[in-house]
Structure 1
């Protein structure tokens, strides 16, 4: 797939946060963008941004927990915008609370939206992509797909499930020799409005664990992954890389560290929990509200970092390191050869002493 070609892109959870930023990033390259979410006010505002940004927008109100509605949404996109080139699974729901304070229905709802919504979106995309042997599915993941943290059992469980599901699907596509690609983008904490609408039973209002990144950082990674889907996954943010490496090397120590720090790190010291929650209904409500892409953490959120470039250019970095290592090894070899050569000069007979 040519990066510069105009594509038809589906973004779920596109009314706010990361989905909103990703939709605008796709629009900036001229793509046709289908916006899937529940909140109609957020969708309308997102569509306006996409159109002003240079893209073509299609609003499709849908609850990702309804598989039939997701299938119908895919049909609508194909009929209106044309064949789907890229499908971005991003929609989610969450609850901030200790596990025993989350009801069975609430836990199931988070799973239905955050995990099974990805499954339904992937299936809907594949029904159209596989016959054409063309297309890319981007699963928006998280460092929490590898490393669970306290107070987010439902969300972390769903992200872990997405990780396993995507790996299995990737193996199947490779076995079939399909040119349909799937890749995953593992994100750090992001400055989105979710912390002002998520169901929150903590003493103080939920917040992301620092360091926090701007949603445009995630959006750039998603657009890049859509254009370079042969990579199985991308890590975004130094904190994501650090968490995944630490969890691989010392998961038990990380358990204890998060047990000590994870509660306070996820709560704002000066705000009570929000009065509204979007678990069962969109947060914009009957009076209308557009949350936008950014949350309330603009002052501390990072606009990017070196790890973002490293993740996108891992191949170049690998080649550079290989060449550098080869050059260094070559220099050491030259020094060694010269040293050996110096020790191996032909024996010179001792100078004769002058005779008297």
Structure 2
């Protein structure tokens, strides 16, 4: 199967792991990177042996590039995706798909009109942690899932991130930043969402950056920094979720628990690829750790574009799809809408539950 030639737009902090992993997948050939700061693109190209460092227009005009990986900031995710699509490229974008539902829908609609594919992070659900949890549910160890609880408890990113301002602007906040990991994992394990309600708040009106680069700078908070939600899945299970940047003294809450008619499953951090996965049956005195399936237990960002590349070549569906990302985007907005309007929100979109990864293939090779 011919390699799919890839160009990366956006050479910031997250780009390194994509560049490192793209070279490991047999289906991908990373041929170019681009950034508004051409010097930064040149630095990344040199660091990861990428043949070409280009301007964004140059990359989009390059006829050999079939797939663009869009690693820009959330505010321009949609516009860069649309530019890539208009240039005839398939596009895979960092989460979230877009800032607004309207922008997200515009991206998907235009891709469909042009016969191109859209994919979107997160791809952490490809990891052995979530895949093992999925198999545990499918084997019936906890019976029929009836409820779940998910918690992302943080004090925010201004103490470590060099440029944290966008986390507190439109398209930021704990739900839009970390919600995609939790919601995507829950959809992989429990299926699409039917309805949502929620409440939001913000503990502080401004934040002070304490990371080195911009230490002392004040950032105005324009979004909710604590989001509490309730979810009803199409399959009938209900879940509670909290995503927060307002946890200043730490937390002991789990990442994700799923409760079934026969037991409980402990799901690992959905922002990682590995475990542990534990379950406890009705009447059991202790938790049992489930051996992880063969697969990806380390940071393997880039596996989503690789899976998408096989879809480009074979015509099969890809797992980290635009439809899944849009369903997650709509859900994230639904929590905020439900809070501001005091109502339940009925989801307008749906998606396919991603198929499990095969476990009998060599690493960095996916099903065709």
TM-score range, shorter chain: 0.3 to 0.5
After TM superposition, the score normalised by the length of structure 1 is 0.42
Bigger fraction of residues in strand: 2
After TM superposition, the score normalised by the length of structure 2 is 0.41
Bigger fraction of residues in helix: 1
